């Protein structure tokens, strides 16, 4: 399975790099895509991590992907104000692809109009972009093919939820075991 991770300057470092690392560890193919149409070399996260995009957004064929992942961070404002980004999000959704967003990024999905009636969680303060969605008190929320996470502190749980949804509970358990991830009650 292949996932597209959409990035612009100011992405949240841990959410982008940590989630993608865990998805790749599970055997998923993940491409970083720049929203910029120019030939910039690397994109800088909000804490200085540099990521070299594999693709540019305008060259994306959604038929090549099983899902879209959008990390949060300050770049979420740029994404939710970019009509090309919103159009890409809508196309992924209309094609019934997996949709994953964490922190402020569910607001991008909200602005794209794909969250009406969907249960979700996001970083506090982004609710106004999701007026017709149902905010839940959980760290990670899966509703159909939409997976959302609250913020950087839940990256591992978020990535494991994506892995379980796409590859099954056994694969998620295998990754969890290999990274030695244990919640307090499991120690």
More confident: 37 or 119: 119
pLDDT of residue 41: 84
Query: DSSP strand E in the chain: where?
Result: 2-7, 29-34, 43-44, 50-51, 55-56, 67-70, 98-102, 119-120, 134-135, 140-143, 146-149
In angstroms, the CA 68 to CA 3 distance is 6
Domain containing 144 equals: 2-186
Q: What number is the average pLDDT over the span 136-165?
A: 98
Cα–Cα distance between 164 and 141 in angstroms, integer? 13
The CA–CA distances, whole Å, from 134 to 43, 87, 111, 144 equal 33, 23, 15, 13
Cβ atoms of 120 and 135 closer than 8 Å:
yes
The average pLDDT across 105-118 equals: 98
For residue 38, give both structure tokens.
């120019």
| Chain segment 17-58, per-residue pLDDT in tens | 999 999 999 999 999 999 997 766 899 999 999 999 999 998
Q: E strand or H helix at 73, and its extent?
A: none
What confidence tens digit (pLDDT) does each residue in 55-75 have? 999 889 999 999 999 999 999
How many domains is the chain built from? 1
Mean pLDDT in residue range 146-170: 98
Dihedral pair phi/psi, residue 31, rounded to 5°: -110, 135
Q: Model-level pTM?
A: 0.95
Is 60 exceeded by the pLDDT of residue 13?
yes
104 Cβ neighbours under 8 A, 6+ residues apart: 12, 72, 73, 74, 76, 77, 122, 123, 126
Which CATH number fits the domain that encloses residue 96?
Answer: 3.40.50.880
Look at the block and give the residue holding tokens 């994109």.
43
Residue scoring higher pLDDT (182 or 128): 128
Query: What band does 171 get if pLDDT is binned at 50, 70 and 90?
Result: very high
């Amino acid at each position: 399975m292949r996932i597209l991770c959409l990035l612009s300057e100011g992405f949240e470092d841990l959410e982008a790099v940590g989630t993608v690392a865990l998805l790749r560890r599970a055997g998923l193919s993940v491409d970083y895509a720049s929203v910029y149409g120019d030939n910039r070399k690397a994109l800088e996260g909000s804490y200085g991590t540099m990521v070299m995009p594999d693709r540019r957004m305008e060259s994306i064929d959604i038929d090549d992907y099983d899902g879209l992942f959008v990390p949060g961070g300050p770049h979420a404002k740029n994404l939710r104000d970019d009509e090309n980004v919103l159009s890409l999000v809508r196309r992924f959704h209309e094609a019934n692809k997996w949709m994953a967003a964490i922190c402020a990024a569910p607001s991008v999905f909200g602005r794209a109009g794909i969250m009406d009636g969907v249960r979700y969680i996001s970083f506090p303060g982004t609710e106004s972009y999701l007026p017709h969605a149902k905010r839940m008190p959980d760290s990670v929320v899966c509703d159909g093919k939409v997976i959302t996470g609250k913020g950087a502190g839940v990256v591992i749980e978020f990535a494991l939820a994506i892995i379980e949804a796409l590859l099954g509970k056994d694969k998620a358990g295998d990754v969890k075991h290999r990274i030695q991830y244990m919640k307090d009650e499991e120690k």
